[in-house]
Chains A and B, each alone.
Chain A
Amino acid sequence: MLEVSGITQIFGGVTALDSVSFTIAKGDITGVIGPNGAGKTTLFNIITGIYQQTAGTVTLEGTDVTGLPPEKLARRAMVRTFQNIELFGGMTVLENVMVGMHTKSSSGLLACALKMPWSISEEKRIRAGAMKWLEFTGIVNLADHTAGSLPFGKGRLLEIARALAVEPRIILMDEPAAGLNSQETLGLARLIKQIRDLGITVVLVEHDMELVMDICDRIVVLNLGKKLAEGTPREIQENHAVIAAYLGDDD
C-alpha cells in the first residue's frame, strides 16, 4: 500500500531522519512510535507532502508519489489528521466535512456562482455525504455548531470525519489520542477499528502505548531519526533495543 524507502531529512545540519525504510500493508493498522524527537511527525509531514525530504522515495499503491503536494495526494486517496487538530474554526461542523468532499465534487467557480443545475444537485450530494460521515463518527447532533467552539475531543472526531469524507484508501493520524481522556480514547480505538473495517489502511503516530498495543497490527519504532525495530505489538514489547530506547540503557 505505502512504501517509504531511504527517507532522509536534514534540517540545517541536523539529521532528523536517517535513511528510514518500511512498508505498510493494505488493510493494516500500523503504529509509528518512538521517544520524543525520534522524527515521527517529520516522517508524517514528508509522507503527506508537507515537507520535501532531502533524500528517499515514497511509493503509494505502486506509484512513486515523492514530492507530490498534499492536494494531489488527496486525489490519490491519501489523507491525514494533525496533532493539534486543524479545524476550519469559523465554519460549522457540517461545512467542515463538506470541504472534505472537495475532491469528490467538481463544480467550478462560474458554475457555483451562477447556480447551474448540476452544481445545485452536486451541493445536495455533498451535504448528504457529509451527514453520513458525521453519523459514522457520532457527532451528527453537532452539525450546525461552529467548529471553533467544539470541545477538543469532539474536534478530534470532526477532523476524522472530515478526513473520511475524502474517501481515502489510506489515512495517517498524527497522535489522535493526544488530549483525549480515557473514555474518549476508548471510543477512538473503536472508531479506528471501524475505519479499518471499511477497508481503509490506517497509520498512526501515537504516544499512548496502551492504545497502540491494543489496536495496531504492526508497529514501526523510530529512535533518533533511525528505524529501531518493526514487528507485531508482541515482538516490539519483547525487543531489547526498544526497551532500552524507552527506559534508558543499563550500561
Chain B
Amino acid sequence: MKRDLLLFIAFAVLIMIAPQLFKGGYLMNVLVFVGINTMLAIALNLLLGYAGQISLGHAGFFGLGAYLSGILTTTYSLNPWVAMPAAALVVGCLAYLIGFPVLKLKGHYLAMATLGLGIIIYIVFNETVELTGGPSGLSGIPNLKLAGVTFDSDVKNYYLIWGFTLAVMLFALNLASSRVGRALRAVHDSEVAAQVLGVNSRVLKVQIFALSAIISSLAGSLYAHTMTFISPASFGFNFSIELLTMVVIGGLGSIYGSFLGAALLTLLPEILRGANDYDIIIYGALLMVMVMFMPGGLVRGIPDLYRKIVKQKKGAGHA
C-alpha cells in the first residue's frame, strides 16, 4: 500500500523535473503527446487489461471530446473549462447508452462493433462540414487559461497535460486496487464465477466502458485546447489500433505499463526519423520483437530481462 504511493510520488516528481533536464525545445512538444497518449492508453487499459473487453473505437471517443470542446468554444464561445466537462459528460452518457447493447457481444464480435462505432464517428467528423469544418478541420480553438496564465507554450502545456495525466494515473491506480478493480479482473478471468459471487458484470462492464470513454474525451478536449487545430485524420481507425498497440506493448492490466507503451510508441517515430524511409520497417520489426519476447509487455518484460542479465553476470563471475 505504502510502496504503491511512494512509487507514484517518485514517478510524479520525475515527470515534474523532466523539463529542466530537457531544456524545452521540440522534445517538450513530443512529451505533451506522451501525456495525452498515456491518458488514452490508461483509458483503454481499464477496459481491455482489467475488464477484458476490447474496443477498436477509442479514437472515436478521443475525437468526440476534441470536437465537442472545439465546437463549444469556437462556434458557441463557451469557456474551455466549461466545455471540457460538458464534452466528457456527453461522451460518457453516449458510451453508457451504447455500452448496454454493444457489451453484450464478446470477443471478435465486440471488436467488430466497436470498430464500426469508431468508423461512424470518423465519418460524422468528415461529413458534418458546417459543424466540424469537415476534412479541412476546425481551427482557432482557444487555449486554456488558469489564474491569468494562458497555456500557449510547449512548457506550459507540458505541465497542464501532465497535471491531468498524473491525476488520471492516480485515479486509475486507486480504482485498480479497489473492490471495483478486483471485480473487473474477476470478470476478465471468469465472468460466470464473478456473477455467482454477486458481481453484476453487465452493469460493471458498461460503467467501465463509460469511464474509459470519459477519460478519452478528456484527453481529446485537452488535445484540442493545446493544439488549437483539429482535423478528422487524427481520430481515425489507425489511431485506435495505435492505442491498442500501446496498451499491449506496455503491458495489459498495468497502469505504469500504459505509460511505457504510450511513451515508446510516441517517441519511437521521433527517434527513428533519422532512418529516413526505413523508419516504418524498423518500427514494425521492433514491435514484433517486443511482442515475441515480452508477451507480458514492457512493464513485465524489462524486469525479467534485468534479472536474466544479472543472473548471467553472476554465472560468468563464478565460472
Contacts and interface: CB of A to CB of B under 8 A. Distances in A.
A186 interface: no
Interface string B84-101: 000000000000000000
B196 interface: yes
Residue among B178, B189, B207 with the highest chain A CB neighbour number at 10 A: B178
Contacts of A48: 196
Contact of B183 (A73, A86, A99, A114): A99
A102 B199 contact: yes
B117 interface: no
Majority DSSP secondary structure for residues of B touching A = helix
Contacts of A89: 189-190
Interface range on chain B: under 10, 10 to 19, 20 to 34, or 35 or more?
20 to 34
B238 interface: no
- Report the contact-size class of chain A (Cβ under 8 Å from the partner): 35 or more
B179 A112 contact: yes
A114 B183 CA distance: 17
A122 to B, nearest CB: 7
Interface string A98-116: 1111110101110011110
Contacts of A109: 175, 180, 207-208, 211
Nearest to B189: A88
B193 A87 contact: yes
A107 B238 CA distance: 37
Interface in A101-140: 101-103, 105, 107-109, 112-115, 119, 122-123, 126
A190 interface: no
Contacts of A88: 185-186, 188-190, 193-194
Interface stretch (A75-83, A195-203, A223-231): A75-83
B181 interface: yes
Contacts of B211: 109
Nearest to B171: A113
A79 B196 CA distance: 6
Nearest to A48: B196
Given A88-B185, A113-B172, A69 B179 contact: no
Given A112-B175, A113-B178, A123-B178, A91 B186 contact: yes
Contacts of A6: none
Interface in B170-222: 171-172, 174-175, 178-183, 185-186, 188-190, 192-201, 207-208, 211
A16 interface: no
A50 interface: yes
A149 B185 CA distance: 17
A107 B194 CA distance: 17
A70 B189 contact: no
A70 B196 contact: yes
A51 to B, nearest CB: 11
A205 interface: no
B168 to A, nearest CB: 10
B189 A107 contact: no
A70 B180 CA distance: 18
B165 to A, nearest CB: 15
- 6 tightest A-B CB contacts, nearest first: A74-B198, A112-B178, A103-B198, A86-B193, A88-B189, A113-B175
Given A100-B197, A109-B207, A112-B174, 12 more contacts: A71-B199, A86-B193, A88-B185, A88-B194, A91-B182, A95-B185, A99-B182, A99-B183, A99-B199, A103-B198, A109-B208, A123-B178
Interface of B: 171-172, 174-175, 178-183, 185-186, 188-190, 192-201, 207-208, 211, 253
25 contacts: A69-B195, A70-B192, A71-B196, A71-B198, A71-B199, A71-B201, A87-B193, A88-B186, A88-B188, A88-B190, A89-B189, A90-B185, A90-B189, A91-B182, A91-B186, A99-B182, A102-B179, A102-B199, A107-B178, A109-B175, A109-B208, A112-B174, A112-B179, A162-B197, A166-B198
